[in-house]
Structure 1
């Protein structure tokens, strides 16, 4: 089998060590690229479409889980989604998060013995897929099995806050009540309940209300722990919506969901990771 892998690790020595171990344990495996940060991991994975992605949890730009979430959103259904192996320095917390998931994980410093079990598991999975013509044809045509497994895993992590925990985000005790946004020489005081939705744009967040839009210099990773989760739902890696403002969730023929709001003409797409929030009760 012609199996291709990509390693995403921001510490060069650790990346080369992992590469060396893999070359010893799996000589036939092709390491096609090394990514040094989260955005590069997304770019190279979408460009090369490897069969396996060794993904560091904590990287500059985007965490490994944020990379996985973005890939789940951007991946085209007609191509096979890569199997993901998370590489992390976290111990007990990461083990609890990933132990029973479809994806695998290895702890830093990566031991050859533990990595050997991961290699064996991957080889068995890939061999089982290739041995069945029916399964192989299905995987090539839809690309859904590994992708569905990853989405399920991310969904399991999200409700309990584990996704934020692994991204080293700290939950605040008191929800944010007022957004302070600079408008020229003035500071606009925006009650949080007036916000229709937040939309991340590079280094800023666009705060959208019924009457105006304002930019604040922050990230969703920093803002999310400050919001009341009963009122604000994340629906996309770049969008958080005031659920009281949602009037309708529309599903198209491809299964993609778009939200319509009561006090806005905006149409907000819901990513695959958060689609389960809008299933019929």
Structure 2
């Protein structure tokens, strides 16, 4: 039986979503209702629902902030009253959204999409969430323009526009340009937050790639997506959680 939690700071809205879900998806078990982002994160960690319906704007942690942790356990559906933000947020189809008040026909389409997605693990939403946060803040956020890295025994300042990709092992992150590679200690999880999500996409938990450096996306003999990088023979694997970035494939 699929399970879900609902998070919204308005009690009447939580009740409306609950009743609408019972009508559209009788088999869905609602495990709990949260009135803010902090409660949603705590519930997700404790109850491990399959799906989380999160209001974008809530006190404490917003729905966007909560989603960064909730998406580790659940497929996320955002509930919003702000349609102009929704188009930017969901253009890649990694998650779905509902407009307030919830329309039964729109909810029915969301339910069908969720049923199809439940057979796979939840996608990693960091890239999409960063893009949406930037949209909501009016595009004022600043991102890294330079990386200080070790090249042999020397330190070198590398402009991010020159970097083709980052890939990490447990200790170091490799910084690859067209002409050389360097090492830094900053992990991918920090770089994801500090780099412009329109310039760099995370395609694997250990890999960030410059979008305009991707020359091809192919499937190997195992059926895994691989990306080719400009000027290099090396190919980088796309993990299943990030396949939605190349959904036309």
**TM-score, L = length of structure 2:** 0.59
Query: 1:175-215 CA distances to partner (integer Å, 9 max, x unpaired)?
Result: xxxxxxxxxxxxxxxxxxxxxxxxxxxxxxxxxxxxxxxxx
Partners in 1 of 2:188 and 2:92 — Cα distance? 26
Q: 1:50 to 1:258 in 2, by over 3 A?
A: farther
SS at match of 1:28: coil
1:271 aligned to which of 189, 192, 197: 189
| Aligned residue in 2 for 1:15 | 14
TM-fit CA distance, 1:251: 2.9
Paired residues in the alignment total 176
Q: State the alpha-carbon separation in 1 of the partners of residues 101 and 191 from structure 2.
A: 30
Q: Does 1:162 align with 2:137?
A: no
Mapped contact 2:55–2:78 kept (Cα < 8 A): yes
- Could you tell me whether the CA contact under 8 Å between 1:6 and 1:31 is conserved in 2? yes
Shift of 1:85: 1.0
What value does the CA root-mean-square deviation take over the aligned residues?
A: 3.1
Change (3 A) 1:279 1:108: same
1:251 and 2:168 matched: yes
More helix by share: 1
CA contact (8 A) 1:258 1:270 kept: no
With normalisation by structure 1, the TM-score equals: 0.53
Q: How far apart in 2 are the matches of 1:41 and 1:273?
A: 26
Identify unmatched segments of 5+ residues in structure 2.
152-165, 175-183, 193-200, 211-228, 230-249
Residues 124 and 162 (structure 1), Cα distance of their counterparts in 2 relative to 1, 3 Å cut: closer
- How far the C-alpha of 1:101 sits from its partner, in A, is 1.2
Which one of 97, 121, 128 corresponds to residue 146 of structure 1? 121
Between the aligned partners of 1:14 and 1:67, the Cα distance in structure 2 is 18
